[in-house]
Amino acid sequence: MSASDNSNSIQQEFAPLKNDRLLRALRFETIDTTPVWMMRQAGRYLPEYKATRAEAGDFMSLCKDTDRATEVTLQPLRRYDLDAAILFSDILTIPDAMGLGLYFETGEGPKFKHPIRTQADLDRLPLLEPNDSLDYVMRAVTSIRKALNGQVPLFGFSGSPWTLATYMIEGGSSKDYRYTKGFLYSNPEFLHQLLDKLATAVIDYLDAQVVAGAQILQIFDSWGGALGHRQFIDFSHAYNKRIVAELKVRHPQIPVVLFTKGGGLWLDVQADSEANVLGLDWTMPIDRARQVLNESQRQLTKQYKKIQSSKAIQGNLDPATLYGSPATIRAEVNAMLDSAYAGGEKTGYIANLGHGITQWVNPDNAKVFIDAVHDYKI
């Protein structure tokens, strides 16, 4: 059985999809209205999430509890008319499974007890076995997919190799990436060795999520925008491109979204990948992104002597917009969608925030955003 046949067999085990608006849009098919979901849509801005997390005890315990991870994934879908669900998990599950000792400090975010700073540290990293050390993620994917019962498609996801490497080397979040960029310029081979291991791990991790039931995948290159132009190509894009290419061999019918925060400058670079969708943060106008991608498609068609598929776009409302009044939110949504459809396109676009929804947003304002997207006349 081919990889494609195997993937189709897996997906047929679940209920048929009732709302395929998002999948139709990314395939540039006709849609009745713009599809919308939010990064971090299951999270701390919802009181029901806070209650469930309190029951679990801590964040990672919540991620590893199949029933509660399923519950918090479904919570925003009960409140809002969303067009997708996204697995409740974290981008740092891979380094945690590699034994780096993930923990969370109140008010400081994630940290690692054993950062990667030496060749010996790097050599000790084990090969990732997603269905062993990360089996709780796969159980959650299958449980969520069953609980959705075909309501909307389910996103699986992973952090990009570059983003994971920054956390693993710095030992947590960073503003200047002192150690990671230090390796980049003083010992690039060390960094490439780590990125190579992580690319293999991400491929296997996302592959396992598809087998468990994910219908669409997103790669979060959260810190790609911290790189210089040449360094982005060599230390981020090259690995993301490799991951997407291998996933397309294993599961050609599964769409992939590539999101680089701060990556608008490199849309022409990212166009040279097999990703179906490129995500935008709030710094890149959508109409300009369309122009860049259309020109990139023409140039890549000449380069490869083969017609290149168009890239759909996802994004890009500033999450802080949701602190505004309902009237302000609706006006900003309309402006965003005017930009998305400025070239006469009637599809090929997914509405989202330019990054994750923040914990201080009033849940009612999230509803204003979602409803405003659906109310907009294409």
Query: Of the residues 65, 83, 90, 207, which is catalytic?
Result: 90
Give the pLDDT confidence of 13-71 residue by residue, as tens digits: 899 999 999 999 999 999 999 999 999 999 999 999 999 999 999 999 999 999 999 99
The yes-or-no answer on residue 318 being catalytic is: no
Q: Which burial class, exposed, middle or buried, applies to 260 when counting CB atoms under 10 A from its CB (0-12, 13-18, 19+)?
A: buried
CA distance 232 to 356: 22
The yes-or-no answer on residue 90 being catalytic is: yes
% residues pLDDT > 70 (the chain): 96
Query: Of the residues 24, 44, 79, 288, which is catalytic?
Result: 44
Annotated binding residue 222: yes
Annotated binding residue 355: yes
Torsions phi, psi for 109 (to 5 deg): 80, -170
- At 173, list the tokens: 């979040």
Contact 42, 68 (CB under 8 A): no
- The pTM of the full predicted model, rounded to 2 decimals, is 0.96
Query: Of the residues 49, 80, 167, 376, which is catalytic?
Result: 167
% residues pLDDT > 90 (the chain): 93
Is residue 1 scored above 90 in pLDDT? no
Annotated binding residue 167: yes
Annotated binding residue 43: yes
Domains of the chain: 3-375 (3.20.20.210)
pLDDT band at 3 (very low <50, low <70, confident <90, very high): low
With b meaning 16 or more CB within 10 Å and e meaning fewer, what string describes 321-359? bbeeeeeebbebbeebbebbbeeebebbbbbbbbbbbee
CA distance 313 to 310: 10
C-alpha closest to that of 279 among 294, 297, 264, 299: 264
Annotated binding residue 41: yes
The yes-or-no answer on residue 40 being catalytic is: yes
pLDDT band at 10 (very low <50, low <70, confident <90, very high): low
* Antiparallel, parallel or unpaired: β 109-112 and 154-159: unpaired
Annotated binding residue 335: no
Is residue 7 scored above 70 in pLDDT? no
